[in-house]
């Protein structure tokens, strides 16, 4: 039997030509990211710009790892939000807490991971790997949050999207007063109507300060179960309107799972007919064989209903550092794709949740009728 070997040789030929001076990011990615994880990053850039950012797609982003202390909030996530390239976010609370330092006038600095940390502790210096800042930055940011959290508008039960929206309003005001532009993810998300969720709200300094306010007798309370249904409602609403759902995963952890579990919540738990996310882009340095990517490689995610099996080819995992990949992908996307109209999903949370509830109750009713037949 003769094999058609040419079908395996259809990819662009690798030509080891020298890199020119002053090359653009786009040219570097398209012409010089040839193989291994540079090849996966090229594929990720093409998936993002050619499919995920189509007019009918809704993009959920997850943020894990200390991205905002490294300046990537203002440098990358803010431009992506403003361009309509990110429609909803699940983040660690830590990223949102450190995001706020810049917006209220504090400074973080480049440092080294090879300092004597006992000396840093003595001098009141905080270190996040090779980022350093004064301990007073923490105390001042804590005080800022506690002052806000004692306000009347926070004295009720709410999901984390509403919490972050309300906080974002005041952070945006502080940016304006200080003349700081485009530094804060929370402020930008507030302005653009992008809902931000935290899957583990107690696991951060924001959560710690909420706990202090509650201990002092204030009535603030977070409804994390509302977050589960709101995020599922966003995905279902997208699909029911004929659109596509994409996930842009930076790192792993709880936010990774939270953005992916929307489909199992729809299908497995609520019993609603659905197939999974359409587009899957992940940047990670974890490995599946140690459990670090458990349930979250695209193929494995298919078995959970997280990813549409028919769309598995539209899934890319690049195994590299988010602090390298995100600036490259951001620059590439901003150069390749025109800004999209803002979907302002925050403003539509109640209507989307209503749609989820109506479909869920119809299914429950049909099952009840069938059981009584």
Please check whether residue 169 lies inside any domain of the structure. yes
pLDDT digits (tens, 9 = 90+) for 188-230: 999 999 999 999 999 999 999 999 999 999 999 999 999 999 9
**Residue 8 forms part of a structural domain:** no
Burial class (CB in 10 A: 0-12, 13-18, 19+), 146: middle
- What is the C-alpha to C-alpha distance for residues 14 and 25, in angstroms, rounded to an integer? 18
CB 281 within 8 A of CB 249: yes
The verdict on residue 37 lying in a domain is no
User: Does the pLDDT value for residue 288 go beyond 90?
Assistant: no
- pTM for this one? 0.95
* Structure confidence by residue, pLDDT tens digits, 55-106: 999 999 999 999 999 999 999 999 999 999 999 999 999 999 999 999 999 9
What is the mean pLDDT of the segment spanning 312-324? 93
**Residue 7 domain-assigned?**
no
| Number of domains, the chain | 1
Q: Provide the pLDDT for residue 242.
A: 96
Between 123 and 313, whose confidence is greater? Answer: 123
Could you say which of 239, 244, 256, 306 is catalytic? 306
Structure tokens that stand for 86 in this block: 């990110």
259 falls within a domain? yes
**Closest CA relative to residue 78, chosen from 166, 175, 4:** 175
Contact 84, 194 (CB under 8 A): no
CATH number at residue 107: 3.40.910.10
pLDDT band, residue 3 (cuts 50/70/90): low
Q: Which pLDDT score, from 0 to 100, does residue 137 have?
A: 98
What is the DSSP annotation of 25-70? HHHHHHHH--SHHHHHHHHHHHHIIIIITSTTEEEEEEE-SS-TTT
* Residue 99 DSSP SS3: helix
Known active-site residue 306: yes
Write phi, then psi, for 73 (nearest 5 degrees).
-65, -60
Flag whether 13 is in a domain.
Answer: no
Domain assignment of residue 330, given as a range: 43-372
Residue 24 belongs to some domain of the structure: no
Q: Is 3 inside a domain boundary?
A: no
């Amino acid at each position: 039997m003769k094999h058609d070997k040419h079908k395996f040789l259809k990819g662009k030929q690798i030509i080891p030509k020298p890199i020119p001076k002053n090359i653009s990011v786009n040219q570097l990615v398209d012409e010089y990211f040839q193989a291994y994880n540079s090849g996966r990053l090229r594929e990720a850039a093409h998936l993002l710009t050619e499919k995920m950012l189509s007019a009918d797609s809704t993009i959920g982003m997850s943020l894990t790892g200390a991205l905002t202390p490294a300046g990537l909030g203002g440098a990358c996530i803010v431009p992506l939000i403003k361009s309509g390239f990110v429609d909803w976010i699940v983040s660690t609370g830590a990223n949102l807490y450190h995001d706020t330092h810049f917006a209220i006038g504090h400074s973080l600095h480049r440092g080294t991971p090879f300092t004597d940390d006992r000396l840093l502790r003595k001098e009141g210096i905080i270190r996040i790997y090779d980022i350093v800042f004064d301990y007073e930055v923490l105390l001042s940011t804590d005080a800022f949050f506690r002052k806000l959290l004692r306000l009347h508008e926070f004295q009720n039960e709410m999901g984390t999207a509403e919490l972050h929206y309300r906080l974002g309003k005041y952070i945006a005001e502080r940016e304006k007063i200080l003349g700081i532009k485009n530094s804060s993810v929370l402020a930008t998300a507030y302005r653009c109507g992008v809902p931000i969720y935290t899957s583990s709200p107690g696991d951060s300094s924001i959560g710690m300060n909420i706990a202090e306010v509650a201990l002092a007798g204030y009535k603030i309370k977070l409804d994390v179960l509302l977050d589960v249904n709101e995020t599922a409602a966003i995905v279902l609403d997208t699909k029911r309107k004929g659109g596509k759902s994409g996930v842009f995963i930076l790192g792993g952890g709880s936010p990774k799972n939270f953005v992916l579990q929307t489909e199992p919540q729809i299908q497995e738990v609520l019993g609603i007919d659905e197939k999974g996310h359409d587009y899957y882009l992940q940047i990670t340095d974890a490995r599946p064989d140690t459990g670090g990517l458990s349930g979250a490689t695209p193929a494995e995610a298919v078995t959970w209903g997280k990813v549409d099996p028919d769309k598995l080819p539209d899934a890319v995992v690049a195994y590299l550092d988010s602090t390298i990949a995100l600036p490259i992908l951001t620059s590439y996307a901003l150069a390749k794709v025109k800004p999209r109209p803002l979907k302002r999903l925050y403003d539509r949370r109640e209507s989307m949740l209503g749609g989820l509830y109506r479909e869920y109750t119809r299914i429950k009713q049909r099952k009840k009728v069938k059981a009584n037949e």
